[in-house]
Chain A
Amino acid sequence: MTKKAFNKIADGLTEAIAIARGEAKPAHLSVPSDNPPPLKRRGIVPTTPSMSLVDLANPTRFLGFSQRLLPFTWAVALGLLAVGLYMAFFTAPADYQQGDTVRIMFIHVPSAWLSMGCYGLMAIASLGTLVWRHPLADVTAKSAAPLGAAFTFLTLVTGSLWGKPMWGTWWVWDARLTSELVLLLMYLGLIALWQAMDDQGRAARVAAVLTLVGTINLPIIKFSVDWWNTLHQPASVLRLDGPTIDISMLIPLFVMAGAFTLMFAALLMMSMRNEILRRRVRTMELTAAGLGA
C-alpha cells in the first residue's frame, strides 16, 4: 500500500469518526464560512456530495426528506386501502366455518402484525439510542409508541368483535389475548414514562432500557398459540410450511396489510416531524426564558 493511499484511508476514517461523534458534518451539510472547521483546513472533506445514513440522521435533512416522501406514501396507502376494502367485501368469499365474520380478519390481522412490528421497530430504535446515540433514534421510539398503542387497541377490539359471534364471548384470558393486552399496557407505560420526565435525554435512555426488556413479550405473543393450549387459533399465515388460508382470502389480506403498513409509515413520519418541531420549540422557549424575551 502506497503512503498516499494509506493517508487517504486514514483521513477518511478520521472524518467518519468525527462525524459519528458529532464533531463535524459532511462537507455538503456544512455552513459556508470564512473560518472553515479544522477538518476542512486539513483537507479531509469529501469532494463528492452523496446521500448517506449520516445525512438522514440530521433532523433538518429528515424534515425535508419526509416532506417529499409523505404525499407519495399516503397516495399509495389510500390506493391500496381502496383496493383492499373492495376485495374484502366483494371478491373474498365467506369462510365455510366463520361465515362473513372472516371479513373482520382483514383489519384484525394487519393491526396485530403492526402492533408487534411497531414494538420491534422501537426495540431497534432503543438500540440506536443506547449504542449509537443516533439523533433520530429516540425521536422514532417516542413517536412510534402511541401508534403502536392504537394498533394494539384496534387488534384487541376487532378480535373481541370477532370472538363474540364465533367463540360466544367478548374476552377470554388465554395466552394470546393476555400477552397482546400486556403489549398494550407496555405501550401505555412507555408513553407515560416519556410524559413524566422533563429531561428528554434521560427519558430516552430509561425508555430504551424498558423497551428492550419488554421485547421478551414479542416471542411470547407469537408462539403463545403453540406453547399453550389457547382458544385463539394457531398461526395460519406466517408458518414454516406455508399459509393455510385460501388464496382468495390471502390476497385481500396482504393488500390490506400493505395498506396498513404504509399508513403506519406515513403516520410515523408525521409524528416524528412533530417531535422534531416540539424539541425545537422547547429549545427556543428555554433560550427565550434565558434571554428574558
Chain B
Amino acid sequence: MSHAGFIFAAYAMAVVVLAGVVGWIIADGRALRRRLADLEVRGVRRRSDRREEQAT
C-alpha cells in the first residue's frame, strides 16, 4: 500500500478524536448523575417533583 503512513495516521486520528468525544460525553454524564444523586440524597427536589409529591 502506497503512503501507508499517511493513511493509517488519518484513520488513527479519526479513532482518537471520536473515542475522545465518546469518552468525554460518558464521563460528563456520569459526573452529572453523581451530582444529581447527591442532591437527591440531601433532600433537594425539583419544583415539578415537589408538585408531583404533593399531588400524590
Contact = CB atoms under 8 A, between A and B. Distances in A.
Contacts of A176: none
A283 B32 contact: no
Interface residues of B, number: 34
Interface string A82-123: 000000000000100001110110011001000000000000
Main secondary structure of the interface of A (DSSP, over half): helix
A88 to B, nearest CB: 9
A170 to B, nearest CB: 11
Contact of B10 (A94, A153, A161, A277): A161
Interface in A190-226: none
B29 A273 contact: yes
A274 B3 contact: no
B36 A162 contact: no
Q: How large is the interface on A (under 10, 10 to 19, 20 to 34, 35 or more residues)?
A: 35 or more
A107 B6 contact: no
A278 B17 CA distance: 24
A32 B3 CA distance: 66
B18 A161 contact: no
Interface of A: 31-34, 94, 99-101, 103-104, 107-108, 111, 146-147, 150, 153-154, 157-158, 161-162, 164-165, 263, 267, 270-271, 273-274, 277-278, 280-281, 283-285, 287-288, 291, 293
